[in-house]
């Protein structure tokens, strides 16, 4: 069964809900493993007051018993603490009257205007409450479950900020391991101490000007087995599946794998990764007995993993809510106006890396289940280990000059 999920809830609704299908029975799972990722999503210099209000934690509603998955759908609830504040503000004096905090001045760059026209609404709050990036808290919870499954097979996923506010951070080679342990030490999640101070300065400058900042992030997954995804149909190519998930994150406007757009500027001799035989006697080898002398492809060829690290980059635009708002039209009056200003972040780029990790984990967990899936974790592990043994055995036989099996 594929890894599937759905979320429900609004930014200032009572709660967010996530339902996940496809996890095998017997996966050890603790709420704290999910909560740790939710807390990472709330961090980062440039976040707004909402992050001081919320203390995201999950409540299991279904699918987990005695610390293990049951094989049935897993349901998680994340309460919105700001809901109580919202209710206090909305409750008007008088007999049961409710004062609605309507939004009639749509923000450029947000879903406000298109949403009210498409869904025939008068109040953009009916749109923006669901379009809000608050929904990504539920996705990070889903990604934490996917991450737990991948950890059982030795996969590590991390991220770091590549640039923010026009400041590019130096990318060390090799990347530190574990990646998140190093990146999370920085308030803006960069691996370059020299760039950190300038990024913080630009965030402060943007805040003072009522502006917002975007940036670029890199997500890296290490320990993947060769052959996840497939070349046989467009919808099974793993690069396409990754791009779809990452582009669905609010404010993400571009995705690159490996060299990405830079590959279009180079000759093939400086793009493609030479192949070499791996070290003999190593078993099992998730790369099938081979290695690449570079990783410009970012760990994917033909829509399939090569066994090298998966490297994906995301471009995040600046947040749409500006404290010095742009011009718009008041939908209630039909007159020019300044766009709505609501409590918001100056930048959410550091947090977006955590969300990107979740999306990559979801895509990889789905691909793992597609390749090795079973009803239980033990069955999935047998399938995985058998595949690795077959990969190594085939290469060893060819190295000894033995004929391939007849077709």
Kindly report, residue by residue over 189-206, the tens digit of the pLDDT: 999 999 999 999 999 999
154 lies in a domain?
yes
Kindly state the greatest CA–CA separation across the chain.
89
- For residue 95, pLDDT over 50 is answered with no
Residue 57 included in any domain: yes
Task: Return the closest-CA partner of residue 157 out of 173, 145, 169.
Answer: 145
Provide the pLDDT for residue 55: 82
Percent of the chain whose pLDDT exceeds 70: 90
Asked if the model's pLDDT at residue 159 lies above 70, the reply is yes
- Residue 197: name the closest of 45, 47, 51 by CA: 45
pLDDT band of 136, cuts 50, 70, 90: very high
Query: Does the residue 316 lie in any domain?
Result: yes
pLDDT digits (tens, 9 = 90+) for 350-403: 999 999 999 999 999 999 999 999 999 999 999 999 999 998 766 665 555 555
Query: Is the pLDDT assigned to residue 92 strictly greater than 50?
Result: no
Burial of 280 (0-12, 13-18, 19+ CB in 10 A): exposed
Q: Is the pLDDT of residue 239 over 70?
A: yes
Helices (H), 91-168: 112-118, 125-131, 136-151
Q: What is the mean pLDDT of residues 218-238?
A: 97
Q: Among 40-49, 273-282, 302-311, where is mean pLDDT lowest?
A: 273-282
Mean pLDDT, rounded, for 137-143? 98
Asked if residue 401 belongs to a domain, the reply is: no
Question: How would residue 97 be classed by pLDDT, with cut points 50, 70 and 90?
Answer: very low
User: Is it the case that residue 256 has pLDDT exceeding 60?
Assistant: yes
Q: List the domain range (segments joined by +) for residue 168.
A: 4-391
Look at 85-94, 179-188, 315-324 and tell me which has the smallest mean pLDDT: 85-94
Mean pLDDT throughout 163-168? Answer: 98
Q: Is the pLDDT of residue 306 over 90?
A: yes
Mean pLDDT to the nearest integer, 152-165: 98
Q: Answer with the residue of higher pLDDT: 342 or 45.
A: 45
Residue 178 lies in a domain: yes
Residues 319-359 have pLDDT tens digits of 998 999 999 999 999 999 999 987 779 999 999 999 999 99
Structure tokens of 365?
Answer: 């967990």
Q: What is the pLDDT of residue 369?
A: 98
Average pLDDT, the chain: 91
pLDDT of residue 67: 97
Q: What is the CATH number of the domain that holds 108?
A: 3.60.150.10
What are the strands, taking DSSP E only, across 30-168?
58-62, 64-65, 68-69, 74-79, 156-164, 167-168
pLDDT at residue number 46: 85
Whether 240 maps to a domain, the answer reads yes
pLDDT value of position 398: 59
Backbone angles phi and psi of 252, in degrees to 5: -80, 120
| Predicted local confidence at residue 243, as pLDDT | 98
Q: What percentage of the chain carries pLDDT values higher than 90?
A: 81
Averaged pLDDT, 264-284:
86
pLDDT at 101 over 60: yes
Residues 286 and 226 sit within 8 Å (Cβ to Cβ): yes
Would you say residue 176 lies in a domain? yes
Structure tokens at 67: 């610390």
Distance in angstroms (rounded) separating the CA atoms of residues 371 and 123: 46
For residue 109, tell me if it sits in a domain. Answer: yes
Paired tokens of 4: 């599937």
Number of domains present in the structure of the chain: 1
């Amino acid at each position: 069964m594929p890894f599937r999920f759905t979320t429900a809830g609004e930014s200032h609704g009572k709660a967010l809900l996530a339902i996940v299908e496809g996890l095998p029975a017997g996966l050890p799972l603790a709420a704290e493993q999910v909560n740790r990722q939710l807390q990472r999503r709330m961090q980062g210099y440039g976040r707004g007051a909402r992050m001081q209000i919320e203390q995201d934690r999950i409540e299991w509603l279904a699918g987990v018993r005695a610390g293990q998955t049951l094989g049935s759908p897993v349901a998680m609830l994340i309460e919105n603490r700001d809901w109580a504040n919202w209710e206090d503000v909305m409750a008007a004096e008088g007999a049961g009257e409710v004062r609605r905090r309507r939004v009639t001045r749509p923000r450029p760059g947000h879903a406000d205007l298109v949403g009210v026209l498409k869904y025939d609404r008068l109040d953009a709050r009916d749109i923006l409450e669901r379009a809000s990036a608050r929904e990504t808290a539920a996705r990070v919870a889903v990604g934490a479950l996917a991450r737990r499954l991948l950890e059982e097979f030795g996969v590590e996923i991390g991220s770091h900020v590549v640039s923010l506010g026009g400041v590019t951070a130096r990318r060390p080679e090799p990347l530190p391991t574990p990646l998140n342990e190093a990146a999370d030490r920085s308030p803006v999640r960069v691996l370059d101490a020299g760039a950190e101070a300038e990024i913080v300065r630009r965030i402060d400058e943007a805040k003072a000007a009522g502006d917002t900042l975007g940036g670029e992030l890199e997500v890296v997954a290490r320990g993947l087995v060769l052959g996840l995804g497939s070349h046989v149909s467009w919808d099974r190519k793993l690069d396409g599946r990754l791009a779809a998930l990452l582009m669905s994150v609010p404010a993400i406007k571009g995705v690159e794998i490996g060299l990405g757009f830079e590959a279009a500027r180079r000759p093939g001799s400086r793009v493609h990764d030479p192949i070499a035989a791996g070290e003999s006697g190593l078993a099992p080898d998730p790369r099938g007995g081979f290695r690449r002398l570079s990783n410009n492809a970012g760990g994917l060829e033909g829509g399939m993993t090569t066994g090298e690290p998966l490297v994906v980059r995301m471009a995040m635009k600046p947040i749409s809510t500006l404290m010095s708002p742009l011009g718009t039209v008041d939908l209630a009056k039909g007159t020019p106006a300044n766009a709505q200003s609501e409590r918001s972040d100056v930048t959410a780029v550091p947090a977006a890396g955590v969300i990107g990790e979740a999306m990559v984990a979801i895509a990889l967990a789905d691909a793992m289940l597609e390749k090795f899936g079973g009803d239980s974790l033990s069955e999935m592990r047998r399938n995985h280990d058998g595949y690795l043994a077959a990969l190594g055995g085939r290469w060893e036989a060819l190295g000894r000059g033995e004929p391939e099996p007849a077709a």
